[in-house]
C-alpha cells in the first residue's frame, strides 16, 4: 500500500515539475531579453543564503539566525557609502575581499568620489557580478564628514517602530485544553502561554553616530498576560541598547546589550559569523570591535558597557558584561555537598514549560576584558584578554569524549591576532591560550594574483582541551575544540561570463566526539560553476561531497563500530530578472547518502520562486512552491527563504511533500508599511507532524507572520 502511494505521489510530483519547467522555459532569456531596458539587473545574495543553508545543515539543534538577519537589514537600511574613504566602513560589505577594498580606496584617493555605479567597472576586482551583488547595500551620495552634535542628532534623527506577530495555525498538543489535574500530573507536556509570538522593536538613530533602541520578545508558548500571579506579565525577553560612534577620540560606546568581536573569532566573538560556502572563498574576518544587539536572540550577546578609543594608530577597547543565562541546574547526589551545579547552558531562549522556566536565568555570568589593536598601513595586530566567571560550578561529565575539556567555572583567555597585506597578498591569524588549558591556533592566507582570480587557505589547530563559549572561529564544528584541519579554496573568472569556484576542507579529530567513539577524520569538497546569462541573471551548477565519521551498532556486539557517512549534493539553480518587474529563482537539488549497514538513500528538492515588484508601485509579492522527497532525515535538504524583517526561515525538507510561501509587502503611507507572510508544508507520508507539545495531529503545518513598520 505504501509503495503504491509513493508511486502515485512521485508521478504527481513529476507532472508538477514538468509544469514548472515549462513555465521556466517560456520565461527563458531568449524570449524576453529584447523587451526589457538594459538597466535592469539581477541583484541576488545567493552566496550569503548558501552560507546559512550550510550552517543549518551542520547544526545539531535549532539555531537563531536573527543576528545575521539584523546585519543584512542594517546594510539595506543604512547602505555603505563607497565615497566615505573609511576602510572600516567599507568592511561592512563582507562580500568584498582585501584587494577590492584597497583598490576602491586607492581609486577614490586618486580620482575623487564616485559619481556613477559604472565607474566601479574600471576598478580592478569589480566585475559585473560583484557590482550586482553589492548593489542593494551601497550608495554613491557625496560624502561630507561632519562632527557629531547631540543637538543635531536629537533634532534630525529617525525613529523606527516594528511590531511582528507570528503563529502556527494548526493546534499543537501543548496548547490543548485539559483539566488542571492532568496539567499537574504532566506539567511539561503543556505550554504556559498561547500560540502567539510577538516581537516589538523601537529604535532611534542619527546616521552612523547614534543608535538607541528597545526590543521586547515573546515566543510561542510563553506567557504574556497570564491569569496566574506566579508568572510575570509582559514580554518574556527585554533588550535595550545605546550605541555612539565616532565622537572625537571615542570611536565606539555601547551601553546595554551589545556584541564584542575581535580578530578571527578565536578568543572573543559574540554573535553571528559566516563560514564556508560554495561560490566564495573564506576571507579574513573584519571585526568591528563593538556593535549594538537589537535582535530577538536571547543567548549570544553581552549586557553591560564597552568602549573603544582611537589614539593615533591604536584602538583600545574595554568591555564589561554582567548577565544571567539559562542553564540546567542539578543537585549533586552526594552527602558531602549540597551546592547546586550546572549540567549545561540552554541557548534556545524558550520559557514555555515549568522545566524551561526553572532554567531561566539560573546562572550568573560575568565577562570582562579588553583589546589593543595597532592599525598600520600594511600590518594590523591585536592583543585580547578575556575573563569569564560563573556563580555556579559546572558538573563534571563522565562522558569519555569530554575527558579533556576544562571546567567552565572560571576561565581566562589570552589572544594575539594579526593581519599583513602586501599588494594582493594577505596573511592573517590568531592564537588563543586558555588558562590551565590548551593553545588554539588559526592561520590564513588569501592571494589575488589577478582581479579575476582569488586563492585562500586556512589552517586551524584546536586542541581537545580548549573550550571557549565566546568564539566563532572558522571550522567544521561550532565549538572550536578537538579539531585540526586545512581548507583550500579558489574563485576564478576565466571567461567573461563564467565564474568557477572550488574548495577542499580536510579535518580530523584527535579525540572522541559526541556519537563518535574513536579519533576520526572527515573531508568536504565543493565545485561550482556560474554562467552569466546576461546582466539580468545567472545559471549555477554545483556539486558538494561530505564525508563525516559516525558510530553504528552491530547486532550482538557490545561496543559501537566506527564508520563513515558519505553524502553527495548536486544543485542547479537559475536566478533571473525576467522582466523589469519579475524576478525568478529556480532550483533542483539532489542528494545521495551511503553509511555502514544502511541501504543507500537519496532525496531531492525542486522549487520555483517568483518576485513581483511593479515599477513605480509601492508593493511587491514573493512566492515559492517546493516539492521534496527524501528517504530519511539523514538525506534532508535545506533552502533559505525570504522572510519578514528580523525573522528567518531555513526549513529542513525531509520525507515527502510540498511547501509554499507567499510574502506581500506594501507601503501604506510614506511612514507606514506592512509585510505579510503565509507558509504551509504538506506531508504525504505521515499523519502526525513533530512530537511532544509541538505535535500536530495532521499532515499540514501553516505559519502566518505579520509586520507593521512605522518610520518618522
440-461 tens-digit pLDDT = 999 999 998 887 888 999 999 9
Residues ≥6 apart with Cβ < 8 Å to 134: 93, 95, 96
Bigger pLDDT: 302 or 70?
302
Q: What pLDDT does 240 receive?
A: 97
Euclidean distance between the first and the last CA atom of the chain, given in angstroms as a whole number: 61
Give the Cβ contact number of residue 181 at 10 Å. Answer: 7
CB 445 within 8 A of CB 418: no
Q: What is the CA radius of gyration of the chain?
A: 26
Is the pLDDT at 224 greater than 50? The verdict is yes
pTM of the model as a whole: 0.87
**Sheet of 341-345, strands arranged across:** 327-330, 341-345, 393-394
Lowest-confidence region among 50-64, 101-115, 458-472: 50-64
* pLDDT above 70 for 246: yes
Lowest average pLDDT, out of 85-89, 121-125, 222-226, 623-627, goes to: 85-89
Q: How many CA atoms lie within 13 A of 29 on its CB side?
A: 15
| Domain limits, the chain | 80-139, 150-244, 248-450
pLDDT of residue 149 exceeding 60: yes
| CA 614 to the chain's CA centroid | 30
How far, rounded to the nearest angstrom, does the alpha carbon of residue 122 sit from its chain's CA centroid?
A: 33
Burial class for 180, CB neighbours closer than 10 Å (0-12, 13-18, 19+): exposed
Over residues 465-489, the mean pLDDT reads: 92
* Distance of alpha carbon 371 from alpha carbon 309, whole angstroms: 11
Mean pLDDT of 384-404: 89
* Count of other CB atoms within 10 angstroms of residue 41: 16
Query: Does residue 10 surpass a pLDDT of 80?
Result: no
pLDDT at 646 over 70: yes
Taking the CB of residue 205, how many other CB atoms lie within 10 A of it?
A: 20
pLDDT band at 168 (very low <50, low <70, confident <90, very high): very high
pLDDT at 45 over 80: no
What pLDDT does residue 336 have? 58
Q: Over 50: is that where the pLDDT of 494 sits?
A: yes
CA distances from 218 to 193, 222, 271, 587 (A): 10, 6, 20, 35
Closest alpha carbon to 640 in 581, 698, 571: 571
Burial of 300 (0-12, 13-18, 19+ CB in 10 A): buried
Q: What is the dihedral of CA 200, 136, 618, 641, to 10 degrees?
A: -60
Residue 140 confidence (pLDDT): 83
pLDDT for 28 equals 38
Residue by residue, DSSP assigns 612-666 as E--TT-SEEEEEEEEEEEESSGGG-EE-----STT-----EE-SEEEEEEEEEEE
Q: How far apart are CA 116 and CA 43, in angstroms?
A: 17
Residue 394 has pLDDT above 80, yes or no: yes
- C-beta separation of 470 from 325 below 8 A: no
Q: How far apart are CA 288 and CA 290, in angstroms?
A: 6
| CB environment 66-78: b (16+ within 10 A), e (fewer) | bbbbbbebbbeee
Q: Which of 53-67, 274-288, 493-507 has the highest mean pLDDT?
A: 493-507
- Cα 412 from Cα 406, distance rounded (Å): 12
Work out the average pLDDT over 488-515: 92
Please compute the mean of the pLDDT values over residues 550-555 and round it to a whole number. Answer: 85
pLDDT higher for 323 or 403?
A: 323
Q: What is the dihedral of CA 233, 235, 237, 243, to 10 degrees?
A: -120
Identify which has the larger pLDDT, 7 or 226.
226
What value does the mean pLDDT take over residues 418-434? 92
* pLDDT tier for residue 60 given thresholds of 50, 70 and 90: low
Residue 559 pLDDT: 82
Beta strands in 478-580 (DSSP E): 483-495, 498-509, 520-534, 537-552, 561-579
Residues 6+ apart with CB under 8 A from 273: 265, 285, 472
Count of positions (residues) in the chain: 712
Question: What average pLDDT does range 100-119 have in this prediction?
Answer: 86
pLDDT for position 333: 63
685-701 average pLDDT score = 95
Q: How confident is the model over 175-186, as a mean pLDDT?
A: 91
Mean pLDDT of the chain: 86
Percent pLDDT > 70 in the chain is: 89
Q: What is the mean pLDDT of residues 464-469?
A: 92
The residue ranking higher by pLDDT, 543 or 247, is 543
Span 510-531, mean pLDDT?
93
Of 14-18, 33-37, 184-188, 252-256, the poorest mean pLDDT is in 33-37
H/E element, 104? helix 98-111
pLDDT at 34 > cutoff 60:
no
- Who wins on pLDDT, 95 or 702? 702
Express the helix, strand and coil content of the chain in percent, nearest 5 each. 20, 45, 35
pLDDT at 73 over 50: yes
Q: What is the pLDDT, as a whole number, of residue 252?
A: 95
Provide the CA 46 distance to its chain's centre, in angstroms.
Answer: 13
User: What are the cell numbers at 462?
Assistant: 584546536
CB atoms within 10 A of CB 206: 19
pLDDT at 338: 67
3-state secondary structure of 113: coil
The C-alpha atoms of residue 584 and residue 28 are separated, in whole angstroms, by 10
The lowest-confidence range among 47-51, 53-57, 200-204, 539-543 is 47-51
* Higher pLDDT among residues 214 and 278, named by residue: 214
Most confident of the ranges 92-96, 546-550, 623-627 = 623-627
Residue 59 per-residue DSSP state: -
Query: What integer pLDDT is reported at residue 436 of this predicted model?
Result: 86
Residues of the chain with pLDDT > 90, as a percent, come to: 55
Residue 182's pLDDT band, with cuts at 50, 70 and 90, is: very high
CB contact at 8 A, 245 and 296: no
What pLDDT is recorded for position 65? 61
**CB atoms near residue 121 (< 10 Å):** 12
pLDDT for the residue 2: 42
Whole-number Å distance between alpha carbons of 538 and 529: 10
Average pLDDT over residues 265-280: 84
Mean pLDDT of 677-685: 97
Q: How confident is the model at residue 1 (pLDDT cuts 50, 70, 90)?
A: very low
Give every CB contact of residue 603 below 8 A, 6+ residues apart in sequence. 590, 591, 628, 629, 630, 631, 635, 636, 637, 653, 654
In three-state form (DSSP H/G/I as H, E/B as E, the rest C), the secondary structure along 563-626 is EEEEEEEEEEEEEEEEECCEEEEEEEEEEEEECCCCCCEEEEEEEEEEEECCCCCCEEEEEEEE
Please state the separation of Cα 225 from the chain's center in Å.
32
Determine the Cα–Cα distance for residues 158 and 109; give it in Å rounded to an integer.
32
Q: Are 657 and 681 in contact (CB under 8 A)?
A: yes
The average pLDDT across 398-420 equals 89
Amino acid at each position: 500500500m505504501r509503495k503504491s502511494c509513493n508511486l502515485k505521489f512521485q508521478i504527481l510530483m513529476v507532472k508538477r515539475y514538468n509544469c514548472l519547467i515549462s513555465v521556466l522555459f517560456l520565461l527563458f532569456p531568449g524570449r524576453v531579453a529584447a523587451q526589457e531596458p538594459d538597466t535592469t539587473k539581477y541583484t541576488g545574495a545567493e552566496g550569503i543564503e548558501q552560507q546559512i543553508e550550510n550552517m543549518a545543515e551542520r547544526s545539531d539543534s535549532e539555531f537563531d539566525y536573527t543576528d545575521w538577519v539584523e546585519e543584512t537589514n542594517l546594510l539595506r537600511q543604512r547602505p555603505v557609502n563607497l565615497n566615505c574613504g573609511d576602510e572600516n566602513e567599507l568592511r561592512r560589505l563582507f562580500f568584498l575581499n582585501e584587494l577590492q577594498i584597497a583598490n576602491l580606496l586607492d581609486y577614490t584617493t586618486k580620482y575623487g568620489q564616485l559619481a556613477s555605479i559604472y565607474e566601479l567597472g574600471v576598478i580592478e576586482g569589480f566585475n559585473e557580478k560583484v557590482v550586482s551583488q553589492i548593489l542593494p547595500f551601497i550608495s554613491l551620495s557625496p560624502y561630507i564628514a561632519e562632527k557629531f552634535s547631540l543637538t543635531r542628532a536629537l533634532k534630525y534623527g529617525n525613529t523606527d517602530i516594528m511590531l511582528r506577530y507570528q503563529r502556527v495555525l494548526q493546534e499543537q498538543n501543548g496548547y490543548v485544553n485539559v483539566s488542571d489535574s492532568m496539567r499537574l500530573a504532566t506539567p511539561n507536556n503543556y505550554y504556559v502561554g498561547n500560540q502567539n509570538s510577538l516581537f516589538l522593536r523601537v529604535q532611534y538613530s542619527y546616521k552612523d553616530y547614534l543608535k538607541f533602541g528597545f526590543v521586547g520578545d515573546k515566543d510561542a508558548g510563553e506567557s504574556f498576560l497570564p491569569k496566574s500571579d506566579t508568572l510575570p506579565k509582559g514580554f518574556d525577553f527585554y533588550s535595550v541598547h545605546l550605541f555612539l560612534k565616532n565622537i572625537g577620540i571615542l570611536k565606539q560606546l555601547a551601553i546595554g546589550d551589545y556584541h564584542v568581536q575581535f580578530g578571527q573569532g578565536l578568543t572573543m566573538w559574540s554573535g553571528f559569523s559566516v563560514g564556508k560556502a560554495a561560490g566564495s572563498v573564506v576571507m579574513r574576518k573584519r571585526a568591528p570591535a563593538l556593535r549594538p544587539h537589537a535582535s530577538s536572540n536571547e543567548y549570544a550577546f553581552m549586557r553591560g558597557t564597552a568602549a573603544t578609543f582611537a589614539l593615533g594608530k591604536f584602538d583600545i577597547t574595554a568591555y564589561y558584561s554582567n548577565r544571567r543565562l539559562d542553564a540546567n541546574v542539578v543537585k549533586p547526589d552526594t552527602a558531602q555537598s549540597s551546592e547546586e551545579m550546572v549540567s549545561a547552558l540552554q541557548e534556545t531562549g524558550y520559557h514555555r514549560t515549568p522545566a524551561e522556566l526553572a532554567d531561566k536565568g539560573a546562572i550568573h555570568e560575568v565577562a570582562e576584558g579588553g583589546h589593543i589593536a595597532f592599525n598600520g598601513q600594511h600590518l594590523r595586530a591585536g592583543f585580547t584578554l578575556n575573563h569569564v566567571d560563573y556563580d555556579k560550578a559546572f558538573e563534571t561529565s563522565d562522558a569519555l569524549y569530554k575527558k579533556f575539556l576544562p571546567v567552565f567555572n572560571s576561565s581566562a583567555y589570552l589572544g594575539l591576532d594579526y593581519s599583513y597585506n602586501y599588494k594582493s597578498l594577505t596573511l592573517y591569524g590568531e592564537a588563543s591560550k586558555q588558562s590551565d588549558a590548551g593553545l588554539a591556533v588559526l592561520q590564513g592566507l588569501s592571494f589575488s594574483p589577478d582581479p579575476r582570480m582569488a586563492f585562500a587557505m586556512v589552517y586551524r589547530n584546536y586542541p581537545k582541551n580548549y573550550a571557549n563559549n565566546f568564539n566563532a572561529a572558522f571550522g567544521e564544528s561550532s565549538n572550536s575544540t578537538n579539531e585540526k584541519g586545512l581548507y583550500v579554496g579558489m574563485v576564478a573568472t576565466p571567461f567573461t561570463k563564467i565564474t568557477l569556484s572550488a574548495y577542499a576542507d580536510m579535518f580530523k579529530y584527535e579525540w572522541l566526539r559526541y556519537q563518535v567513539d574513536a579519533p576520526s577524520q572527515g573531508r568536504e569538497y565543493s565545485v561550482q560553476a556560474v554562467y552569466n546569462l546576461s546582466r539580468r541573471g545567472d545559471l549555477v551548477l554545483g556539486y558538494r561531497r561530505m564525508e563525516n565519521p559516525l558510530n553504528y551498532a552491530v547486532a550482538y556486539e557490545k561496543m559501537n563500530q566506527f564508520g563513515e557517512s558519505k553524502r553527495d549534493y548536486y544543485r542547479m539553480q537559475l536566478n533571473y530578472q525576467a522582466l523589469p518587474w519579475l524576478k525568478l529563482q529556480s532550483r533542483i537539488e539532489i542528494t545521495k547518502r551511503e553509511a555502514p549497514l544502511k541501504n543507500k538513500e537519496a532525496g531531492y528538492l525542486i522549487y520555483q520562486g517568483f518576485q513581483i515588484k511593479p515599477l513605480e508601485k509601492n508593493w511587491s509579492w514573493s512566492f515559492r512552491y517546493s516539492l521534496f522527497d527524501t528517504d530519511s532525515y539523514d538525506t534532508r535538504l535545506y533552502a533559505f527563504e525570504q522572510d519578514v524583517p528580523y525573522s528567518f526561515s531555513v526549513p529542513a525538507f525531509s520525507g515527502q511533500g510540498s511547501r509554499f510561501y507567499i510574502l506581500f509587502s506594501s507601503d501604506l503611507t510614506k511612514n507606514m508599511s506592512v509585510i505579510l507572510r503565509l507558509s504551509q508544508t504538506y506531508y504525504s507520508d505521515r499523519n502526525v507532524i513533530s512530537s511532544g507539545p509541538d505535535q500536530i495531529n495532521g499532515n499540514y503545518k501553516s505559519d502566518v507572520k505579520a509586520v507593521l513598520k512605522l518610520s518618522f
